[in-house]
Structure 1
Amino acid sequence: MAGPLLETKLHVPRGRRGLVARPRLSERLSRGAESTLTLVSAPAGFGKTTLLAEWLAGAPAEGRSAAWLSLDRRDNDAALFWSYLVAALQAASPGVGAGALMLLQSSQTPIEAVLATLLNDLSASSDDVVLVLDDYHVIDARDVQDGMAFLLEHLPPQMHLVIASRADPTLPLSRLRGRGELVEIRAADLRFTPDEAAAYLNEVMGLVLTAQDVAALEGRTEGWIAALQLAALSMQGRADIAGFIAGFAGDDRYIIDYMVEEVLQRQPDNVRSFLLKTSILSRLSGPLCDAVTGQHGGKPMLEALDRGNLFLIQLDDRRQWYRYQHLFADVLRAHLLDEQPDRVHELHLRASDWYERNGERSEAIRHALAAEDFERAADLVELAIPAMRRSRQESTMRGWLEALPGEVVQVRPVLIVGYAGALLLGGELEGVEARLEDAERWLDTTTGTHVLPEASPAGMVVVDDEEFRGIPGTIELYRAALALARGDVPGTEGHARRALELSPEEDHLRRASASGLLGLAYWTSGDLDQAHRAYADCMAGLRRVGHVADTFGCAIALADIRRRQGRLGDAMHTYEQALQLASEQGGSVLRGTADMYVGISEIHRERNDLPTARQYLLRSQELGEHLGLLQNPYRWRVAMARVREAEGDLGAALDLLNEAERLYVSDFFPNVRPVPAWRARVWVEQGALGEAIGWVREQGLSATDDLSYLREFEHITLVRVLLAQPRAERAEGSIDEATQLLDRLLQAAEEGGRTGSVIEILVLQALAHQTRGEIPAALVSLERALTLSEPEGYVRVFADEGAPMAILLRAAARVAPGEQEGIARDDVRRLLAAVDKTEDSPPVSQGLPEDRQGLVEPLSKRELEVLRLLGTDLDGPDIARELVVSLNTVRTHTKNIYAKLGVNNRRAAVRRAEQLDLLSRTRDR
């Protein structure tokens, strides 16, 4: 960050002496602590902060830990807001939030993941915590409000949230109210009752007022506490109290102006001067006040004001930091501007200088901007950019830059590039290139590099030499990201290469970023070897600069690439290495661990170790989505859907895929296996061809499309749909289309080194030949697939094809030695044992001889029963009811029957069965 967190924002304000006891409100707050949210909503001056501070003073006695956060406008930066909120909770419960703070340091972590980590910590904690967010009305950033809504929705029972605000926040209050999870305290509740007003005026403020005077004043103020306090201060020392009360009238603004004027006029000149000069400060300390006023004695002055109840709120237990009551500060500033407008500039500059010298650059920038010393502010912003980038405070940085006049920014190339980066990270692509071109105009175009600051063109301003020297590489880096966001793969590759050329060898972070973008470009285009090399370079660079958490994203990409290359063993090694590296760091589990377990699960599934695959998915789930990358929720559901599919529960698989599609969020990784294509495959397996064909039409797919890696998975899925279509619809056309498309897909995948795709394509080639009765050709394709897959332990790519693959594998096992020497008998038997079997299928080793039914693979008893009913007028649901099985089971049997008979529809199956005299055998039984 551009400065440390301000601890004074985390302190519960100290209770004031002689406050009026308000047990009715304290009891209400205590009862409300059993709900999710207590909202204390009222205009300024109704004692919200004082009430909550007094109530929390008794929280330890009630077994609660108190956490407090005083908010201000700067907290609309999401990263800053959540950093403060976590820090506040840690002050009350030290065991929570470490993982969340670590995630906040990563620019790729979604806020929901940070909050999920925090919520898990809170759920596991035994501490009962009350968190107060004071002055919440200053928060209007949409992303912060969305995060707060998420937090409220998942708040554990041992945590209670209290929001104090001048206006109702943009949160799901209606839903909470409907659930009985919201307690509300509003202005009508906070107003002083006549008894409370009397206690305050006479006992606290030392006045001697009659019951009639109190009633009159309470009636005039309607119990408004700030007005009563101002009136009490004004009445001190007056002789004509009754006359003062009689003349007390007007609306809120006039009351405040009148009362403050009364108070200020009664202060000694030195006190009045101190109040006005320090009114520009959001918080006050003795040394800071001395710097701003140009005098000594700031600390004793603050202590005296505190003793005099002059609208000062203590922010810590050491009496070092205070703030004025907001309403009082507003009026003081108005008087300062009215009386000494020429002094405001100087006062803000003094504050800016003090904050800079004390290492609080954000506050220094704020006061420089308030002073309209834009050159100074620009200098400070330029020096703050690296820290703001690291702490994900791009929105704050952007706000500063937009507050600076255009002519100031335009001569500062570091600021121009910083603004372009803030726009890019904010998703506003249109303005990025123009800013980059503006920055480039300050570079030495004759050499294609940059000029040194000391040799800069007239008018150019550079404060941070190191940032300036990195501008050429940063410009190309941002252009590469811009091109990637727009789908321009060649542009991404070109700019990323240029960024590498322009970044020195010791600039590990910038070079790692460029390598990562280059890897994405190669991956998207299907050049997986190059993609792997680029990602390996990215990972190495991140390690050198200590960004271990970010290396997980690279490791997941590297493993994904290896899996697509058919190198399951290498992929597993990548996962294991990354997990080992993380374990050596100590501390919390790193974000991305959940994704690692999903990837490991997918390898175990492919190797047909379904129990272990499920175990790793459950471990991933136990860690929680907050320890996964952006796409973990979607990836987990796809992986579990594939396990359920392998287990035969296609309905559950479809439900999971539907969830995955809903949760899919795009990131920079290419979406080479989209969820709708997975769903179409399950439809094919279910026999729901209408839905699968609808998907084909929706995607605009055809067998004659130009091929690309991004759509390779979809085109392979199209082949499955074509092979499943009934002969009655397409005759031989669909098989021809599928065969021709497979030939082209195979060539493209082999040229790209995508062995994972090659194996699946060869399996489908074998099945296509089998459908045509071309068994020798089918076995040739099968042999090639087995040769490629056996060293890596592939099983499910064969087993998922069910009965048709079993037929081919048995045929392969019966080939005489020497005829198919490339097929290992042991491997065939291992795969046969893994093929899904229907409930009545005979064991693989005990299959009926071929001549018993005239088939390579005989029909089971249950399949013969289904076949008989296919010859009737019963539809699928009727057949299911007749056999007392599920419709999915009937579809599975029907699919196996079609495969064994070599047909593609019901009518052809019945006709083929009659030719083989199979139906008469079922009747004989």
Structure 2
Amino acid sequence: MAAPRRFSNLIDIGMRPSSQAIDTQFFLRSHYYTHFVYVWIRYMTRPLAEPEFVLKAMPPQLSKSAIARRRLSLHAPVVQGSRLLLVQAPAGFGKTVLLSQWRREWLQQGVPVAWLTLDERDEGARLVAAMRYSILMAISLSSNLATHNFDGASLSDPIAAATELLAEVAAMPTALALILDDAHTLRHRDVEGLIEYFACNAPANLTLALSSRVALSLPTAGLIGNTECVTLDAQALRLTSQEGAAILEARFGKSVDVDMAASLHETCSGWPLGLQLMSSAIACGATARNTLELASRAKQGVEKYFAEFLLNRLPQPLVDVLLRVSLVEGVNPAFCAAIVGRPTAADQLKALCASTPVFSESLGSDWVTLHPLAREFLRARANQELPSFEVQLVHERAALWLAQQELDEQAALHALAAGHKEQAYELVERGLYKLALQGHRGRVRAWLDRLPDAEIAARPRLALAAGIVMPVVERDRLEWVLDVLGTIRTNVEMPSDLRREATRVIGGVELRLDNLDRVLELSTEQMETLPTGLPYLDERILNLHATLLMLTGRPDLARHRCASAHSDAEGLISTQLIFASVVSRSYLWQGQVALAADSVTKVLNDAQAQLGRRSALATVLAATLAAAMWELDRPDAAANALADRLDVLAADAQPHSVVIGFITASRIAGWEGHEAKRLNLLDYLCVMGESRRWPRVTLEALAELVATHARAGHVKSCRVFLARAEAAHAAAMQQNPKTLARSLDLRLHMCRAYTDIARHAWEEAQRQLEYAALLASDLKCGREDIECKLLQSLAMHRLGRDPRELLHEAIGLAQALGMTRIVTDTHPDLAAIIPATLHPARTANSSVVQHEHTPAARHEAMVAPTELLTPKEREVLGLMSLGLQNKQIAVASAVSQETIKWHIKNLFAKLGAVNRRHAVARALMLGILISEH
């Protein structure tokens, strides 16, 4: 009989009649199977005695809402090529989920994966035995092996046993991955040394991945020689806003919108367990419309978790330390001992960090911070349970210790909480202005709300800080601050550097008030005084001048001003972020959307990490990114960038950034089919411009409304909004006749052109577009230039003229700049007159076209390539998962039913299954079958 070419048939060696004996020489001649058979037989001769090893070697089943995190995948730059992967973070950071993701990716690459969940009983000999069993399960999956007994003599020396196991792994012809989960449960002293030995001597075909809640003293990459080592900590495991949104969508679908998802992500600060708890808390009300109600219910669920699974399970001495630590923002062992009042508190803090999931460590520092949700809950509990004098004593001790470390702003916060106002005012005056320059506007504003106006007016540095952070929505108070700063600026008794700083801050305030002519006067005066001798002040002056250049139609010169600045002045991140904002907005102004997206993406993550996702600077950068992503035909990315940020933009941004953000948000709403929301956003922008005395903003909003109604053919609405736009244009011209005249005229001509197009007055539309095109070219407004050319082409076509030359130029410019949405966004009738040869590489509706040519979504499970199964067995398993019977599988596979029965029998043996349904379930659990839905 011919030898069957299946490794699974080796199970029957020596068990079949001699007439059916297998020709073993066939396998010995095969270079692929020779070593594999050898290793497999060696494993078979090592019986196993621990039935629980079966459970320890089984990977956990993931939740349906678990998502693959691409930035942490095996192919991601931070992980790729590493053979020792350490995942170290407190409970609730998704360590096991990430290990399961890696396991699935390895299986998809055809790499056998051994999984082992560790526990406190795993000492040297037992650990080696468990690893041996998990590896055996990975390469054979023969469930009856757990009934044998280990040869105790070979495991009497754990190091020798580990050496033998490594040698056997090295003899395998394929790569192997070994995952050790819950390494923090190991209690025996020799175990960590054994794992270190295993890692240092791992063969080239073995990749080792470990997870632990505490830091493991394993060797670094330098101690392992050529082995690459990567450590992922809690900071790396925190969810991004996109990952959080994907998890919520997987659980709730579209019933939780992007704004709600972003709000929940902000509340849980990217903590996976926090998001899971909040998701569970709102599960019963996920379709409710009241966002605040959902957030409140989610918060209550998290608080219940902290009460039941944190405080109630900790010893009272640790609870006392935890409550006192919650009264401060961050803590290290020395600070903890100072505020608690006893040296042992430092060790208790370390115990809390190791045993609870609510602390986040700082890279390269012994400082830790409580998770915001936990801190809020514990702080309320501390104020409720601790005596008032004890709370005051903690604040006094904190103020003294922080002041000694020259952490003035934090010290002032605790001095004020302790009731020592004068001490707090003196401390805060030293640090609040620099804090404002660093971009921490929310913290500075919180301080200013606590301070009397008399103290602000009497302390120049506090007035400067107020001028930087005061929002336009508080216009009356902002004008009061302007008066105070004007007094400082004209007071000859003040130091000259203080007067210069006051002039620069006044310029920033006038910019937020949209008084650009006044900004021009101040900027011209300041540019003549450069250099001032203060690098950070020089940068701020250049930044203000660059912004003015960009808004007056000189974006290329604005970038030149940015490039001439010193990027490291005083180490103020806000200076670099503001310059990056000017650069990206200048690219957006010119229509170079790909460059705008690239330049802003590089700094947005830093802004969010250091200042917070909803900080003013991060929000301004996100608005620019959203506008660029929209033009690049990536509306989902644009929506994610603006999610839960429009309120920050409205309260704390310059008029130009407000216009960019709200108009982009309105376009996204239209793309989503929410036309009422689109119009409401533009109406709100109009009202905002009128209430804040920003007529330019009102004009921009009305121009977008006119264009929107013109595309729909609403002539009457266009005329109404055009009349309002002309009034807004007159008011804006009166406010800024020197700086904005051309920009305002451009917008008004576009309004008139769209109105003429809506009423099919093509000759009048052509005249308006000719004026607008000249202004757009003069101002270097790339988008408006292409928009004018497209509309002129449409008018020429309606007038019976040949528009191909102008159309070719417009589409060529759009393709060069990456503006793939502009054709459809300009006017729907353009699609009918553009020849196929002139279509942009991707148009706004290209995603729909591509979707129509995409095969229907498949709901069957995909079979991962694994060495366990032959290609034919994988095919049969996939068809079996669809519920097909043997005859149907045979027809689909073009083989006989007898052959299919033989394949299914082999599948049962390899998967340890007793029937077809059990085989499919086992394959899903082991990651061999991967559901696509």
Q: TM-score, normalised by structure 2?
A: 0.43
Larger radius of gyration: 1
Q: TM-score, normalised by structure 1?
A: 0.43
Q: Which has the higher contact order (CA 8 A, sep 6+)?
A: 2
